[in-house]
A and B are shown apart, each in its own frame.
Chain A
């Protein structure tokens, strides 16, 4: 191993990237515009839910209830006939249909506790649960306000005070932006290291390199170093420029500790990219492989939905991928302000996974790259 050779080859990689404007634009786009739009586009949990009412009562109370449903949580409610309920729910026009029974107002005033029926299309799982909660709350509130002539808060003897730590207002873009950054780091690092190797393979330049007095590990390390340097730098800029700057997400933890995790993730992911490039024979095959690998990495590593809710075997398999550990470490540092003593197991796991991919890739490198050319 010769550090000078690695340096020379890394400089070559950087030149290659610099003269590839399409790639540069893609990197900049993914780390700026994409993070910004993806973070801000995620709607709040209930947004514009389509709702309809079957009003058999047509009283002051029923009108009051219907008028209480307003955007942005709900679309303006529509009045439909009872006979239309099934059709509209079947075709998915409405997620919620509320039926107010005849003599509703009268029965309420008599204290007979009439039933309001809420039909929920439970195949729309994201709206169904939260929406139903809101609907119940709004109707109950409106009825009691009507009865008492004014709005009150029902007070229970025991209050529960909820405080969301690390993100008091539960702003979804705080979460979305950092997870998008993590996805960007993964995607760009795999493409840069893996596709760069495939491209060299297809153009025959790797063959040329292999015939020179440089070792396989020097070639691999130079690719990892160049990829790592570039992605590491844009990540840092993105953290300060986009996440903290443009989006105004407060960062609780130590950014430099996060950057250590990024560096380890880059080592693991670019080794993985090279490993994938030793499997794929051509760019299209690499492209297909990339989709098959990236999607599970992004969806199952805990950056999209909570890991606890996944089946145990998927949780365990995902522990073997670098992303899972990187997501855990990043969430710990950036949101919860965790220090080294808290996240060191994740950092060690990243290092270990990186080493495994690195050495497997190194072993395959000679046999596959050389004979394929």
Chain B
């Protein structure tokens, strides 16, 4: 096979932007290929298409001898491609250990237990991860995460290895180790084709073949030497700029730094002494000391998570330091000190301006907050707009602007109050080389002409080289602080990077650094004995692999676990007591204007009722009015003067009852109670006076079945269980899938052989189990806390509940396949489950009493049937025989929901 990848007229558009534009490419087998270019030029899109992760739009693409539009071919070559997406550990599961992550991926590719063990040991020994097998992936350093990502990618012997910016944000030593590892693999298995995207141009030097991309188009292809020769430049970054079309290049000026004259600025702007920050046990910043002079450009260089940002946050007063001291412009650092903040400008790592405000509104807001005098605000804003070339964008919203311009806006905002010190946390990450150079030009002008002290952090070596002095940071410690030249000289290194690596090696304990090449051939040897289990067995293994991984993740997420158990128990208590139909202890008072023995008798009839709670007697109409208005009493009974006389004579007399109608349902109940008591009293009176007249010609005998005391709890509690078992399991599964979408690990569905149904069922299993446990808890609460008797067939209840939680978890999966963000999933699931459960399932109003759409939903939704079954088994003592229709109705909903979810789930990114 000569060419492993061939494509032509390949185009991908996202809404209005074209990510890659009419690309034609062919890549031979067994080479290393680097795709270079800044962020956002289409590198990732191209790689994801080749990996089969993203859906094809236009053009043709052949990978490993087949068409990538063909689903069968994609499935067939899935195990031959390894794909490591962009972002540190994006496809890894942070709460799982190294071992668990590797086990998960190995199981997805269907290896047996023995094979998994050999492979995992082998790979981790080669990459130096072996001692850390039990450490959670989230707690690894950036470099180690990338090594783990590589192990996960290599676990199934791919023929094509696709790495998307594998070293971004990783320290230089880990980076060089990573590339050494890749070289070893390539030497050991020369057939492997390695495709790498990178934004670090200096790394690209080592590849056989380069593809330079810009704005979705190929600028040039060829070996590194070719490109350098063609552009007559000495390094690839300049070569890349030289290759750019002239209209873009036109804006570019190479950065020149005027030397810093320490003699003029003898004052100190920032000083730190033994600054330390601890988060629990973790020491983020460890006794950092440095001094920055006024007007100096001071750089912090280090990998992600080495403590750069934390140090800067301490200096801005965002984080109070654990120990140590610092001085900012002569005054000691205090977290609550507002006054020094007027003299400092801060630009945080990510773009953190208000995207809902226009460029101009952002500037005006900050100017006012920093107390620029009101009459000068407009002028100052205009000045900033001009200086940072933002004038034509002033009425745009920031997210409509390219990253480079947003970066300039952030700087303008940080400068709007003319601060003496600027603290910039990785201001240029993700910005293309030209915009980056322009940004630096602005910084240098600020420092040299305006005398602003600039404290900047970066992980780009060439940017660090432009600083007056730099500190190398690693694992919370400053390794050295000096001028770039002096640092290079001390280690007699050619480049700053080489010097940095020297310092890192010095700082690390030698034992952790294993020689990779020693075991280089071990992997290739171990691959020969591989038996293939049947397809179905493999599918089941993948399903269980997802299930066990989901279980581990759930166990390590206390919030979701609490929600699933405690949440439903709390809600059970709340609703059990909250939705009560009983009206008891009604407060009432009597306005007795008769005060006879008969009126007293009437009053006793009222106060003897368990529904009523008598308050002190009413003294006047005004009193009655006031007490009813305040809601103190909800019933006032007025017994007219000479009531006793009238009754005695058997003449007509009226008793007045005023009911608080503010809550109509309660008022109706009161009406019922009062009538009842009144009639009973009358009958009593009649029999006492032996005027017994046969009051009725028939007897109506009422039998209250199933719940003879008519207790609200008996009716409500068995109905709350279905409601909670619909809402909470659905909420849990809906987050389970959409979380993967948000965090990026959904990619493992796209690029591994797992099928959509295996993925969904695997995710569902642990939630069925937890939901069933919470069902058992709810039943226990119903029986022992609420004293609701469980009269029927317990087994039938359990079987129906198991079927039902399977349905509700499927519904959650369906909701999460629909949505793209966790908050949307929560909203959709809440509305989609709460409304049918509360209103249409018959909890309060029976389904037959509903009308229209609500009736229809009530008739078909499984929750109505579970509610019937739950009440039937709890209160009516039913079993399977009578409830077979409910079992059937719930069971049939499961495959329908799952089928819908499977159809709507994409196996590729769109």
Q: Hey, which bits of chain A sit against chain B, CB under 8 A?
A: 4-5, 8-9, 11-12, 15-16, 18-20, 43, 45, 47-50, 75, 87, 89-93, 95, 108, 111, 113-130, 132-133, 135-136, 139-140, 143-144, 147, 154, 156-168, 170-172, 174-175, 203-205, 207-208, 210-215, 282-285, 287-288, 291-292, 295-296, 299-300, 304-306, 308-311, 314, 328, 331-332, 335-338, 342-343, 366, 370-371, 373
Residue B317 is within 8 A (CB to CB) of chain A in the complex:
yes
Bound complex: CA A340 to CA B657 (Å): 27
Residue B666 is within 8 A (CB to CB) of chain A in the complex:
yes
A-B contact pairs, 24 of them (CB 8 A): A75-B848, A113-B696, A125-B714, A139-B698, A140-B696, A143-B697, A157-B651, A157-B682, A158-B654, A160-B654, A160-B675, A165-B628, A171-B664, A172-B664, A204-B348, A204-B352, A208-B352, A283-B822, A288-B559, A292-B570, A295-B574, A308-B584, A308-B613, A335-B661
Residue B393 is within 8 A (CB to CB) of chain A in the complex:
no
Question: Given known contacts A116-B698, A123-B715, A300-B574, is B354 in contact with A12 (CB within 8 Å)?
Answer: yes
Find the residue from A95, A117, A126, A130 having the highest chain B CB count within 10 A: A126
Find the residue from A127, A205, A343 having the highest chain B CB count within 10 A: A205
Residue B59 is within 8 A (CB to CB) of chain A in the complex:
no
Residue B845 is within 8 A (CB to CB) of chain A in the complex:
yes
Find the residue from A116, A154, A288, A371 having the highest chain B CB count within 10 A: A288
Question: Given known contacts A121-B705, A157-B647, A211-B346, is B660 in contact with A165 (CB within 8 Å)?
Answer: yes
Question: Given known contacts A157-B647, A157-B651, is B672 in contact with A48 (CB within 8 Å)?
Answer: no
- Which residues of A are found within 8 Å of B344, using beta-carbon distances? 211
Question: Given known contacts A123-B875, A207-B348, is B366 in contact with A162 (CB within 8 Å)?
Answer: no
- Which residues of A are found within 8 Å of B850, using beta-carbon distances? 48
Question: Given known contacts A12-B354, A132-B702, A336-B662, is B318 in contact with A92 (CB within 8 Å)?
Answer: no
- Which residues of A are found within 8 Å of B626, using beta-carbon distances? 342
Residue B324 is within 8 A (CB to CB) of chain A in the complex:
no
- Which residues of B are found within 8 Å of A282, using beta-carbon distances? 822
Are B849 and A164 in contact, CB atoms less than 8 angstroms apart?
Answer: no
Bound complex: CA A287 to CA B655 (Å): 53
Are A159 and B701 in contact, CB atoms less than 8 angstroms apart?
Answer: no
Which residue of B is nearest A85, CB measured? B705
Residue B528 is within 8 A (CB to CB) of chain A in the complex:
no
Are A211 and B653 in contact, CB atoms less than 8 angstroms apart?
Answer: no
Are B667 and A164 in contact, CB atoms less than 8 angstroms apart?
Answer: yes
| From B369, B659, B697, B715, contact of A8 by CB (8 A) | B369
Question: Given known contacts A48-B848, A157-B650, A283-B823, is B664 in contact with A143 (CB within 8 Å)?
Answer: no
| From A165, A285, A310, contact of B580 by CB (8 A) | A310
Residue B674 is within 8 A (CB to CB) of chain A in the complex:
yes
Find the residue from A43, A114, A158, A371 having the highest chain B CB count within 10 A: A158
- Which residues of B are found within 8 Å of A156, using beta-carbon distances? 679, 682
Find the residue from B317, B577, B628 having the highest chain A CB count within 10 A: B577
Are B629 and A90 in contact, CB atoms less than 8 angstroms apart?
Answer: no
Are A126 and B845 in contact, CB atoms less than 8 angstroms apart?
Answer: yes
Residue B876 is within 8 A (CB to CB) of chain A in the complex:
yes
| From A49, A123, A287, A332, contact of B876 by CB (8 A) | A123
Q: How large is the interface on B (under 10, 10 to 19, 20 to 34, 35 or more residues)?
A: 35 or more
Bound complex: CA A195 to CA B335 (Å): 26
Output the least CB separation between B347 and chain A (Å): 8
- Which residues of A are found within 8 Å of B842, using beta-carbon distances? 92
Are B631 and A328 in contact, CB atoms less than 8 angstroms apart?
Answer: yes
Which residue of B is nearest A137, CB measured? B700
Bound complex: CA A192 to CA B397 (Å): 22
Output the least CB separation between A214 and chain B (Å): 6
Bound complex: CA A144 to CA B693 (Å): 14
Q: Mark B619-641, 1 if CB is under 8 A from A, else 0.
A: 00000001011110010000000
Are A12 and B578 in contact, CB atoms less than 8 angstroms apart?
Answer: no
Output the least CB separation between A151 and chain B (Å): 15
Which residue of A is nearest B351, CB measured? A204
Bound complex: CA A162 to CA B716 (Å): 30
Question: Given known contacts A130-B668, A288-B563, A299-B574, is B703 in contact with A120 (CB within 8 Å)?
Answer: yes
Output the least CB separation between A231 and chain B (Å): 19
- Which residues of B are found within 8 Å of A308, using beta-carbon distances? 583-587, 613, 634
Which residue of B is nearest A195, CB measured? B823
| From A87, A126, A160, A373, contact of B844 by CB (8 A) | A126
Find the residue from B699, B851, B878 having the highest chain A CB count within 10 A: B699
Bound complex: CA A91 to CA B342 (Å): 74
Residue B263 is within 8 A (CB to CB) of chain A in the complex:
no
List B663-708 residues whose CB lies under 8 Å from chain A.
663-669, 671-672, 674-675, 678-679, 682, 685, 694-708
Are A91 and B662 in contact, CB atoms less than 8 angstroms apart?
Answer: no
Are B630 and A314 in contact, CB atoms less than 8 angstroms apart?
Answer: no
Are A111 and B370 in contact, CB atoms less than 8 angstroms apart?
Answer: no
Are A212 and B668 in contact, CB atoms less than 8 angstroms apart?
Answer: no
| From B668, B706, B707, B845, contact of A47 by CB (8 A) | B845
- Which residues of A are found within 8 Å of B665, using beta-carbon distances? 45, 172, 175, 305
Output the least CB separation between B645 and chain A (Å): 12
Bound complex: CA A132 to CA B700 (Å): 10
Known: A123-B714, A211-B346. 4 other contacts (CB 8 A): A16-B357, A140-B696, A213-B341, A305-B580
| From A93, A122, A338, contact of B630 by CB (8 A) | A338
- Which residues of A are found within 8 Å of B704, using beta-carbon distances? 120, 122, 128, 132
Are A168 and B707 in contact, CB atoms less than 8 angstroms apart?
Answer: no
Are B585 and A157 in contact, CB atoms less than 8 angstroms apart?
Answer: no
| From A15, A154, A337, contact of B356 by CB (8 A) | A15
Are B661 and A167 in contact, CB atoms less than 8 angstroms apart?
Answer: yes
Are B577 and A310 in contact, CB atoms less than 8 angstroms apart?
Answer: yes
Bound complex: CA A87 to CA B705 (Å): 13
- Which residues of B are found within 8 Å of A15, using beta-carbon distances? 354, 356-357, 361
Are B571 and A337 in contact, CB atoms less than 8 angstroms apart?
Answer: no
Are B715 and A125 in contact, CB atoms less than 8 angstroms apart?
Answer: yes
| From B580, B654, B703, B706, contact of A123 by CB (8 A) | B706
- Which residues of A are found within 8 Å of B397, using beta-carbon distances? 19
Q: Mark B729-772, 1 if CB is under 8 A from A, else 0.
A: 00100010001000000000000000000000000000000000
List B129-177 residues whose CB lies under 8 Å from chain A.
none
- Which residues of B are found within 8 Å of A306, using beta-carbon distances? 583, 586, 663, 666
Which residue of B is nearest A8, CB measured? B368
Output the least CB separation between A223 and chain B (Å): 13
- Which residues of A are found within 8 Å of B342, using beta-carbon distances? 213
Q: Mark B320-345, 1 if CB is under 8 A from A, else 0.
A: 00000000000000010011011010
| From B356, B567, B570, contact of A19 by CB (8 A) | B356
| From A8, A49, A166, A284, contact of B735 by CB (8 A) | A284
Bound complex: CA A127 to CA B700 (Å): 18
Bound complex: CA A24 to CA B664 (Å): 33
Bound complex: CA A328 to CA B634 (Å): 13
Residue B710 is within 8 A (CB to CB) of chain A in the complex:
yes
| From A4, A95, A130, A140, contact of B700 by CB (8 A) | A140
Output the least CB separation between A144 and chain B (Å): 7
Residue B387 is within 8 A (CB to CB) of chain A in the complex:
no
Question: Given known contacts A5-B369, A122-B707, is B668 in contact with A170 (CB within 8 Å)?
Answer: yes
Are B655 and A160 in contact, CB atoms less than 8 angstroms apart?
Answer: yes
Which residue of B is nearest A290, CB measured? B826
Are A162 and B630 in contact, CB atoms less than 8 angstroms apart?
Answer: no
Question: Given known contacts A125-B716, A170-B668, A207-B318, is B563 in contact with A158 (CB within 8 Å)?
Answer: no
| From A284, A296, A338, A370, contact of B822 by CB (8 A) | A284
Which residue of A is nearest B719, CB measured? A123
| From A165, A210, A213, A215, contact of B371 by CB (8 A) | A213
- Which residues of B are found within 8 Å of A311, using beta-carbon distances? 577
Are B662 and A161 in contact, CB atoms less than 8 angstroms apart?
Answer: no
| From B702, B718, B872, contact of A118 by CB (8 A) | B702
State the 5 A-B residue pairs at the shortest beta-carbon distance, nearest first: A167-B661, A299-B578, A164-B661, A122-B707, A48-B849
Output the least CB separation between A119 and chain B (Å): 5
- Which residues of A are found within 8 Å of B698, using beta-carbon distances? 108, 113-116, 139-140, 143
